Structure 1
Amino acid sequence: MSLEFLWYIPNQVTPGHRGDAVTVDHNSLDTLTAQAKALEEHGWKGALIGTGWGRPDTLTVAAALAARTATFEPLIAIRPGYWRPAHFASAVATLDHLTGGRVRINIVSGKDNLGAYGEHESDQAHRYARTKEFLQLVRKLWTEENVTFRGEHFQVTDSTVLPRISPHGGRLHPKLYFGGASEAAEHVAATAADVQLFWGEPLVGVQERIERLRSLSEELGREHAPLEFGLRITTFVRDTTEQAWAEAEAKVAEMAKNQGAPPQNPHRPTAVGQQRLLDLATRGDVLDDNLYTAPGKVGGGGAGTTWLVGSPEDVAKSLRKYQDLGITHFVLSDTPYLPEIERQGNQLLPLLRE
């Protein structure tokens, strides 16, 4: 199976990220388009666009960036609570049609500010049961016509989404990426998702989860193509190993000075996957060859909790070890975004494609 390399485009109202300089136009269309075009020019397939209440709408941002690019593929993060399945399926089918099949979707089920957008299902079991139905129904709407569906959370009658999604090679519809480390999340991934995304855990942890998800897929009677696996992680790359570690440690020290800003999503630290990452720091500042856990101690969250640090050769070697476990989708990033798109596109990607 071929490898796919994506980046991350910051989709946030509040400027500044992990010590970056604050700029007024950080989320303007021109700024984000410059990043998307740089991704095209430097060998990246596309980029994840993050979601959360209080952030710009991802589908709108993705549509704007797709209109200004030629090959850029947005990986659009969405929460089922923001959308009804048929409305979402129609919106994505339209964007997929207009872009010639460049759309990917990342379904997010972690807690958010539910009350702000009229949601009440905060219980984990209900949340993931709803997510599973959402995935099942959206896939049906993209691949079948005259769909009637009667679920616990969603229902449609004689529903046909237009325009119909056109197959592109072996791709019948946009890939459905999914994250989550709880038992409930893994059951959803094993049965209803296309790609399970992992955070930057040590190799042994990722290997255990891949083996468990493969077993679950068989046990639960997965009906789709085999589940694929992806890694979402910060890659801190410099010309030499020594330079990379010196600058990474300096950046963490600067983050420690500025620690205390409220998290964008206050529920994130309670998520099972996030807690797994934060717990890694108790095992040491550096795990495996170059997985740096110290950022998680000073406010790093999500993909910024752990970093792969080193020269292009160091980081490529580590990513190839994840590939050997079965990872085929890589969603990488570091800040400042635009220079790192260019640096890692020029120095890291060629090594990964050898």
Structure 2
Amino acid sequence: MDDSARRLLQRLIRRIPAQMLKPTLDKWDRLTAAHRQSMDFTESKWALTEKLLAICEENEMTVKHITELEMIHVIENPDHSMWYALQLVDPEDDAHSVELTQFKEQFKSHLRELIRHVSIKIKKHTDEAVWIRIAWGDSFSRPNHLKPTYVVHHLQTPYVFVTSLTSKLKPLLSQALVLSTRYQAIKDASLSGRKLTAIRDLLMRQYQQVFPTKYPSSLVENNQNASNILINKEQAELAASRHQKACEAFGDGMLPQLQSAVYKLETKFRDHTNKTMTEREEAFRCVVKFASTNLLESLRHCASSGISSTPGTSLLSSIPLKGRNYFVITDNGPGPSSQTRQPPN
């Protein structure tokens, strides 16, 4: 067991919470039942790390084996990083027929043609998502397994989710993805967040949507509570209408737990009382950010309860409608316009 494998294992064990260490190791098929039984999980993290290092040394485990354990942990706990959504565009005729084996072979082949030293591990999860772990090197250095990039792609869909990807390496990954999925190009989907399932569900419309109807009574019946009985008919109709419009804008039932939305303004300043700012030729620039533990739920509640007006502004309803949480607003046209944003290094 070399130094790189040892450092990777030490760092990984520090990242895994103590209560999750045993179930994580149980899913790792590199330890025998006797090895697992010899570990006392009531001991300190330091003692457990030393014990695990000794077992790995004895069995001559390599970086390859340790990265398998890391992937188990990351797949089970994806919300520890910031994820960015990408969208493949212009599919070729056979794009929807790409199978896992074909994708794995071509992705590895294309990426290794672009960069000399790279380590790639691909695993299919139980929800049909393909998880890719990439440790990057360059022409002179070996892959750095301490700073891997993770990529999640659902085959037969145009969506890709990435984390820990620098702007320097993004073109290499993009080219390998385009070639191996049979698409013409890939673009930033202007959607990011720490909850992978939330941005995935938002893009793939995997939540209960509500469409405009002249008969909103079904929603009223499903969401009626005791207080509604005490209000008069007019108030009940107004409440039902607000709730219907709120659900049309943001969805019904459990919503994806999106945590933020960013609006970058590049517009002219308009205020007749402030000529200094209004007469400026340069655009007025500012950034507005909405944040919540569940932003869509918060916006729906504000509209449904009457805190905000209904129907809601298109700037906010565009989040679920367009599957984005980053918008650039300019004077060039009506409504929000999205522009490409590069993930930070």
TM-score using structure 2 length: 0.24
In the superposition, the TM-score normalised over structure 1's length comes to 0.23
Answer 1 or 2: higher relative contact order, Cα 8 Å, separation at least 6.
1
**Which structure: larger Rg?**
2
